[in-house]
Structure 1
Amino acid sequence: MNLIGIGQGFVLTVLGVAALGLEVWALIEAARFRKDAYTAAGKQTKVLWVALTAAAAALGFVLVFNPLNFLSVIAVAIAAIFLTSVRPALRSVQGPGGRTSGGPYGGW
C-alpha cells in the first residue's frame, strides 16, 4: 500500500470538495440579490455574475478530484472575487438579508 499516495489523494479530494462548496456558495449568493442592486453598487450586471459563478460551479463539479488544475484555480478565483468584492458591495446597497426589511409601506 502506498500510504503517501492515499494521503495525497485524500487531501486533493478535500480541497476539491471545499472549492466546489465555495463556488456553489458564490452562485447562490449571486442569484439571491436583486438585479438593480448590482447597478446601484457599481458592479457588473446580475446576469454576468450569475453566469460566471455558474460556470465556476460547473467547473468545480467536473474537476472536483483535480483541484489543482488551471481551470479549477480560475473557478475558485471567480468565486473568491465575487464573495470578497461584489457581495459586500451588494450587501451595503441591499442589506444583509438580500431583501429590503419592510414592505411597500416601510418596516414594522
Structure 2
Amino acid sequence: MLLEGFSSLMSLLYLAMLAIAVVAFVIAMTAREDAYRAADKQTKTFWLIILGVTIAVNLLVPMLFLQLAGLVASIVFMVDVRPALRQVSGGRRGGSSSDGPYGPYNGGR
C-alpha cells in the first residue's frame, strides 16, 4: 500500500516535470529570435534543442538524474530567460506609456 502511494506521487512528479518542460518549450518557440540576442541570452535554437531534449528524456528515458537535469534547464529558462525576453519584447500587454506599477499616472489630478 505504501509503495502504491509512493508510485503515484512519483508519477505526479514526472508529469509536473514534463508539463514545465512543455510550457517552457512553447514559450521558447513563440519568442522572436532577435529578442534572444537583444536580451543577451543564448540563441533560440540552443533553448529549443535543450528543452526538446528535456521533453524527450522525460517521455522516453526513465532516469531520474537526467530528468532532474532537464528540470533545472526548464527552471533556468522560466526564471532567467523568459523575463528577459518579455522585457526586451515589451512583455506588458495593454496599458500606455504613462502607466506605473500601480496603474495609470494621471498627473496629480
Which of the five TM-score ranges fits, normalised by the shorter chain?
Answer: 0.7 to 0.9
Distance verdict in 2 for CA 1:58–1:97, change over 3 Å: farther
Match of 1:28 among 17, 26, 32: 26
**Deviation at 1:58?**
1.1
Higher alpha-carbon Rg: 2
* 2:5 is the counterpart of 1:7: yes
- What are structure 1's unaligned runs of at least 5 residues? 99-108
**Deviation at 1:60?**
1.4
**Deviation at 1:96?**
2.6
Aligned to 1:95: 90
State the superposition RMSD in angstroms: 1.6
**Deviation at 1:61?**
1.5
TM-score by length of structure 2 reads 0.80
Match of 2:80 among 46, 62, 85: 85
**Deviation at 1:97?**
7.1
Q: Secondary structure at the match of 1:78?
A: helix
Q: Distance between the aligned counterparts of 1:69 and 1:97, measured in 2?
A: 37
One-letter amino acid of the counterpart of residue 53, structure 1: L
The ranges of structure 1 where at least 4 consecutive aligned residues each deviate by more than 4 angstroms after the TM superposition are: none
Q: Distance between the aligned counterparts of 1:28 and 1:69, measured in 2?
A: 23
Q: Distance between the aligned counterparts of 1:97 and 1:29, measured in 2?
A: 15
Deviations 1:34-59 (A, max 9, x none): 00000000101111011111111111
Q: Secondary structure at the match of 1:96?
A: coil
Q: Kindly indicate whether structure 1 or structure 2 has the higher relative contact order, using CA contacts under 8 Å at least 6 residues apart.
A: 1
Q: Distance between the aligned counterparts of 1:7 and 1:14, measured in 2?
A: 11
Q: How many residues align?
A: 93
